[in-house]
Every structure is written in structure tokens, then in C-alpha cells.
Amino acid sequence: MQSQGGDEEEGEAKEAAVEGGSITGPELRELIVARWGRAYDTRICQKRDRFNKLRLYVQVMWKFLGQKTFPLTEERYDEQLE
């Protein structure tokens, strides 16, 4: 069970993302775990559409931290999120 402080931190991370602010690796990890229950491998991609407008996409992979076949250590996973 999460404490109220955790809920506030998640709300702040979501707010930063919505307002165009920055988000840290640990904040991203918290959002991923809060949403899907596991620390899934995640990538943030930038692409321009046909009107040259920049779009951000979050790719959530099928492998997660702690899974036998997961290719990253916890340290490398955290570095990647940064």
C-alpha cells in the first residue's frame, strides 16, 4: 500500500510531464510501476509528423526488471531511464 507522500510525488511527476517540465528517471520508474505494476523496459521517442510537429511517444516493452530474460541490470535500467 502506498503512502500519501507517494501519491503526491506521482501527481507532481504527471504534472511536470503535462506542463512540459522535466521528469527524472526515478519519477519515470515510479509512474511505470504505478501504472503497470512492474518496472517495464521503456523508451521515450521523438518523431516529427508530416506537418513537422514534434511528437513524443512512450514505448513500453514486454520485458521487465527482475524477469530472467531481462537484459539489463538494475543499475543499467536506472541509467537508461535518466
**In the chain, what percentage of residues exceed pLDDT 70?**
76
Query: What's the CA gap between 43 and 59, in Å, rounded?
Result: 5
Query: In the chain, what are the domains?
Result: 4-81 (3.30.428.40)
Query: pLDDT tens digits for 12-22?
Result: 555 555 566 78
Q: What is the pLDDT of residue 34?
A: 94
Q: Which of 56, 33, 32 is nearest to 46 (CA)?
A: 56
Q: How far apart are CA 34 and CA 55, in angstroms?
A: 24
Would you state the cell numbers that stand for residue 81, as one nine-digit string? 531511464
pLDDT single digits (tens) 24-46: 888 988 998 999 998 988 888 88
How large is the average pLDDT for residues 61-79? 85
Distance in angstroms (rounded) separating the CA atoms of residues 52 and 42: 25
Residue 15 is predicted with a pLDDT of: 55
